[in-house]
């Protein structure tokens, strides 16, 4: 561990740069880096990495580079404008341990904007909170990693090991951005992802699967509805059956999630169907997101889903002969439990304590993060640790600035502790 004078200087340097950090975070949050529209925000990150003295590798995510790899999730969208950005500090004579600081630039849709108190892509600060879609999840954390590095450089210090700052796409739907970074060869002895964790460390995360259920019906005039088959109303029993499967999964316990009442959430999250109000609908498609335990076999989960839907469809005379189709695209993500990470966790605990005076708390996540790629497929412990945020994926998403400052200081101390520092 470094001496306390150096730790104090590092914390002060982060605090001194924090106004600029908030401005940069706010400007980045103003860019609507929704799926397929991440490129301009990634350009901003590339410029910022370059300005911080990092060597920038901006590359397109190519399906052919990753589709054969474990952890890949199939997609139905184009990757024509899908850019990742990595900023590398390569130590001329590495003496410390290497580090990846990874964050995602993509944000989820806003929902009806009139239900936000202020426009979601016009960020503003109110009290301790920065409001705006994507500020909490996770641009504040993505930017914290950069400003932690900048604070060290501002002190005339340079990390004594290689550091890769990664700004990736696709975290919210597949993880293929993080996977593409692995495929490109980036490796380190630890990875930190400053997702909005409320300044705790994620000890475990569930897996996540997305699937679509596509139903057919028989369209007739509603005047003779009894002779048709309603594809939308036929979906309700299938949804109920899937929720029974969810209950069964939750009744099975997993040691990493023992403290949680309901770790595996299954939600019907999108639905489309029908063409005309006076026609019995001929089609319905609904999207489902479900959680699954670490160690679950994805193929076995798919078979359970398919059996569940097939059995429920048997009760419907039309569906019995026209079985619903199940399509998988988006997350096919395994769960992840942090392990073989004693040295990494101890270093993060030291850094966290030096800022907060408190021991590092650990939490379990009922969602997924890109940490699984590092941990499961590259043998790199993936430490998810970031600021306090509220209402992520909801209205009036916000991130605490005081928390973001503490996390930035903790990351700067972690870099100095893990990688070591030397005079530039
Ligand atoms: Zn996130």
Could you give the 3-state DSSP secondary structure of residue 53?
Answer: coil
Interval between CA 194 and ligand 1 midpoint (Å) = 9
CATH 3.40.630.10 domain span(s) along the chain: 4-205+335-423
**Whole-prediction pTM:** 0.96
CA of 116 to the centre of ligand 1 (A): 20
Judged against a pLDDT cut of 90, whether residue 15 lies above it is answered with yes
Q: Nearest 5 degrees, angle CA 71-CA 44-CA 381?
A: 35
| Residue 286, beta-bridge partner list | 213, 271
Distance 414 CA to ligand 1 centre (A): 21
Q: Is the pLDDT of residue 105 over 90?
A: yes
Write b or e for each residue in 228-253: b if 16 or more Cβ atoms lie within 10 A of its Cβ, otherwise e.
bbbbbebbeebbebbeebbeebbeee
Q: How many CB atoms lie within 10 A of CB 6?
A: 15
Decide if pLDDT at 424 tops 90: no
What's the CA-to-centroid distance between 129 and ligand 1, angstroms?
18
Q: From the CA of 365, how far away is ligand 1's center (Å)? A: 12
Phi and psi at residue 288, to the nearest 5°: -130, 140
Q: How many CB atoms lie within 10 A of CB 375?
A: 23
What is the Cα–Cα distance from 205 to 190, expressed in whole angstroms?
17
The SS3 of residue 89 is strand
- Compute the distance between CA of residue 371 and CA of residue 168 in angstroms, rounded to an integer: 12
Is 78 buried (19+), middle (13-18) or exposed (0-12) by CB count in 10 A? Answer: exposed
Give CA angle at 116 (113, 118), nearest 5°.
100
**In 135-190, beta strands by DSSP E:** 157-159, 163-168
Q: What angle do CA 225, 319, 272 make, to 5 degrees?
A: 70
What is the distance in A from the centroid of ligand 1 to the CA of 65? 24
Read off the pLDDT of residues 182-193 as tens digits, 9 standing for 90 and up. Answer: 999 999 999 999
Candidates 376, 202, 209; CA nearest to 292 is 209
Q: Indicate whether 324 pLDDT > 90.
A: yes
Query: What is the CA(135)–ligand 1 centre distance, in A?
Result: 10
Q: CA–CA separation, 103 vs 50, rounded Å?
A: 17
Give distance in angstroms: CA of 108 to centre of ligand 1. Answer: 9
Ligand 1 center to 346 CA (angstroms): 24
Q: Whole-angstrom Cα distance, residue 144 to residue 25?
A: 9
163/86 Cα distance (integer angstroms): 10
Residue 76 has what pLDDT?
87
How far, in Å, is the centroid of ligand 1 from the Cα of 193?
A: 9
Q: Kindly give the distance from the C-alpha atom of residue 391 to the centroid of ligand 1, in angstroms, as a whole number.
A: 12
From the CA of 317, how far away is ligand 1's center (Å)? 43
Query: Could you tell me the distance, in angstroms and rounded to a whole number, from the CA of residue 100 to the centre of ligand 1?
Result: 16
What integer is the mean pLDDT of 375-398? 98
- Please tell me the distance between residue 356's alpha carbon and the centre of ligand 1 in angstroms: 23
Q: What is the mean pLDDT of residues 188-215?
A: 98
176 Cα: distance to centroid of ligand 1 (angstroms): 14
Distance of CA 161 from the midpoint of ligand 1 (Å): 27
Residue 275 CA, ligand 1 centroid: distance in Å: 35
Which residues share a beta bridge with 229? 218
Contact 52, 36 (CB under 8 A): no
CA of 138 to the centre of ligand 1 (A): 5
* Percent share of the chain, pLDDT over 70: 100
* Cβ atoms of 140 and 399 closer than 8 Å: yes
The H or E element containing residue 238 is: helix 235-251
Instruction: Return the residue matching tokens 């036929």.
Output: 234
CATH topology of domain 207-333: Alpha-Beta Plaits (3.30.70)
- Cβ–Cβ contacts within 10 Å for residue 217, how many? 25
Q: 2-11, 122-131, 277-286, 329-338 — which is least confidently predicted?
A: 2-11
SS3 content of the chain, % helix, strand, coil (to 5): 40, 25, 40
- Centre of ligand 1 to C-alpha 323, Å, is 36
Q: Residue 1: pLDDT above 70?
A: no
How many angstroms is it from 172 CA to the middle of ligand 1?
Answer: 7
Which H or E element spans position 81? Answer: none
> Has residue 3 got a pLDDT over 70?
yes
**Cα of 387 from ligand 1 centre, angstroms:** 11
Give φ, ψ of 302 to 5 degrees. Answer: -60, -40
Query: How close is the Cα of 103 to the center of ligand 1, in Å?
Result: 8
Cα–ligand 1 centroid distance for 369 (angstroms): 7
Which residues, in sequence order, are CB contacts of 409 under 8 Å at separation 6+?
10, 11, 14, 15, 148, 355
d(CA 8, CA 16): 12
Q: Where in the chain is the domain with CATH 3.30.70.360?
A: 207-333
Superfamily of segment(s) 4-205+335-423: Zn peptidases (3.40.630.10)
Q: What is the pLDDT of residues 303-319, one digit of tens each?
A: 999 999 999 999 999 99
């Amino acid at each position: 561990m470094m001496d306390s004078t150096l730790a104090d200087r590092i914390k002060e340097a982060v605090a001194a740069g924090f106004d600029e950090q908030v401005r940069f975070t706010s400007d980045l949050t103003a860019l609507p880096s929704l799926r397929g529209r991440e490129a301009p925000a990634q350009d901003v990150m590339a410029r910022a990495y370059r300005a911080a003295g990092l060597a920038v590798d901006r590359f397109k995510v190519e399906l052919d580079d990753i589709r054969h790899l474990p952890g890949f999730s199939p997609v139905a969208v184009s990757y024509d404008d899908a850019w990742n950005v990595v900023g590398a500090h390569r130590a001329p004579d590495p003496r410390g341990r290497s580090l990846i600081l990874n964050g995602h630039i993509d944000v989820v849709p806003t929902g009806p904007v009139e239900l936000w108190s202020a426009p979601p892509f016009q960020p503003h600060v109110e009290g301790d909170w920065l409001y705006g879609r994507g500020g909490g999840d996770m641009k504040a954390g993505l930017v914290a990693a950069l400003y932690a590095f900048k604070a060290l450089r501002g002190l005339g210090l340079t990390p004594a090991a290689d550091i890769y700052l990664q700004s990736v796409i696709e975290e919210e739907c597949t993880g293929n951005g993080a996977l593409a970074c692995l495929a490109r060869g980036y490796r380190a002895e630890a990875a930190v992802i400053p997702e909005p964790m409320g300044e705790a460390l994620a000890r475990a995360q569930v897996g996540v699967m997305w699937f679509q259920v596509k139903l057919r019906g028989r369209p007739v005039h509603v005047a003779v509805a009894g002779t048709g088959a309603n594809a939308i109303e036929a979906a309700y029993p299938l949804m109920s059956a899937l929720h029974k499967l969810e209950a069964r999964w939750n009744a099975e316990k997993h040691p990493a999630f023992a403290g949680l009442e309901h770790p595996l959430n299954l939600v019907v999250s999108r639905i489309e169907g029908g063409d005309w109000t006076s026609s019995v609908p001929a089609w319905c498609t609904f999207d489902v997101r479900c959680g699954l335990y670490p160690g679950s076999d994805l193929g076995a989960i798919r078979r359970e889903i398919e059996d569940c839907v097939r059995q429920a469809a048997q009760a419907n005379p039309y569906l019995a002969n026209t079985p619903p189709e199940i399509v998988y695209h988006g997350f096919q993500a395994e769960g992840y439990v942090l392990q073989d990470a004693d040295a990494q966790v101890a270093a993060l605990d030291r850094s966290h304590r030096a800022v907060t005076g408190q021991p590092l708390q650990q939490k379990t996540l009922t969602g997924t993060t890109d940490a699984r790629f590092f941990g499961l497929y590259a043998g790199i412990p993936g430490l998810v640790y970031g600021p306090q945020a509220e209402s992520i994926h909801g209205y009036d998403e916000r991130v605490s600035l005081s928390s973001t400052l503490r996390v930035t200081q903790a990351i700067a101390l972690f870099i100095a502790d893990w990688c070591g520092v030397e005079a530039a």
